[in-house]
Amino acid sequence: MEDFELDLEDFERRMEGAINSLRQDFAGLRTGRASASMVDSLVVNAYGAQMPMNQCGSINVPEPRLLSISVWDKTIVDDVVKAILDSGLGINPVVEGTVIRLPIPELNEERRKELSKVASQYAENTRISIRNIRKDGMDILKKAKSDGLSEDEVVLWSDEIQDLTNQFIAKTDETLETKKSEIMAV
């Protein structure tokens, strides 16, 4: 088999997507400070459909420990409140007309440890995604080998894929440690 080329950029792009997904998951975890990303991606059942929170109103951070959501349509305020309560964020919304205020309470030690475990689970899911992408590459190599690719080429390509995998697993671990230190900071 001549001129076999494996698209490493595709594998890298897919692994980078897994890391970006992890960062989005981490953005939703509370660290004791208010952040619009905490509620941005919450799903609201409104108008008979599921909508992201950021399509139901504008999200602001007027103070370091306060989020404010200005709901655009007063008929869905209750739906937005229900989405916040069901989210598991541990925040009790205060409704003032079409404005929903979310005071962010201090995190206690037990809640910090709980959030660290959640962050670790998110990171493990990302590692699994990265390993699955590696598996896809190895499967392509297996097929190419049965189609006549030399053993040396297979070893070279599998080393390339493994190096890429190791890089992204390390990136995942680094991102996790950063998030854990944010969560555990008092």
Rounded CA-CA distance 110/138 in Å is 42
Of 46-50, 87-91, 121-125, 154-158, the range with the lowest mean pLDDT is 87-91
Query: What is the reported pLDDT for 133?
Result: 94
Does domain 8-26+108-184 fall into CATH 1.10.132.20? yes
Least confident of 63-67, 123-127, 155-159: 63-67
The per-residue pLDDT for range 17-76, each reduced to its tens digit, is: 999 989 888 877 766 677 777 787 788 888 888 988 888 899 898 888 888 999 998 898
- Strands 66-71 and 57-63, bridge-based pairing: antiparallel
Helix (H) or strand (E) holding 50: strand 49-52
Does residue 27 or residue 163 have the better pLDDT?
A: 163
- The pLDDT score that the predictor gives to residue 186 is 62
- Predicted local confidence at residue 30, as pLDDT: 65
The mean pLDDT value of the chain amounts to 87
Q: How confident is the model at residue 176 (pLDDT cuts 50, 70, 90)?
A: very high
Distance CA 141, CA 157 (A): 8
CATH of 33-103, picked from 3.40.50.300, 3.40.50.1360, 3.30.1360.40, 3.40.50.1370, is: 3.30.1360.40
* Domain locations along the chain: 8-26+108-184, 33-103
Question: Which residue intervals of the chain are DSSP H helices?
Answer: 8-27, 37-40, 77-86, 109-146, 151-184
> Any idea what DSSP says for residue 105?
P
Q: What is the pLDDT of residue 32?
A: 65
pLDDT at 27: 78
Mean pLDDT, range 117-144, rounded to an integer? 92
By percentage, how much of the chain surpasses pLDDT 90? 38
Q: Quote the pLDDT of residue 67.
A: 87
What is the CA 84 to chain-centroid distance, rounded?
18
- Residue 15's contacts (CB-CB under 8 Å, 6 or more residues apart) are 130, 133, 164, 165, 168
Task: Record the pTM.
Answer: 0.69
If pLDDT is split at 50, 70 and 90, which confidence band does 5 have?
Answer: confident
Q: Mean of the pLDDT values across residues 132-141?
A: 93
Closest CA to 85 of 75, 93, 77: 93
Q: What is the pLDDT of residue 109?
A: 84
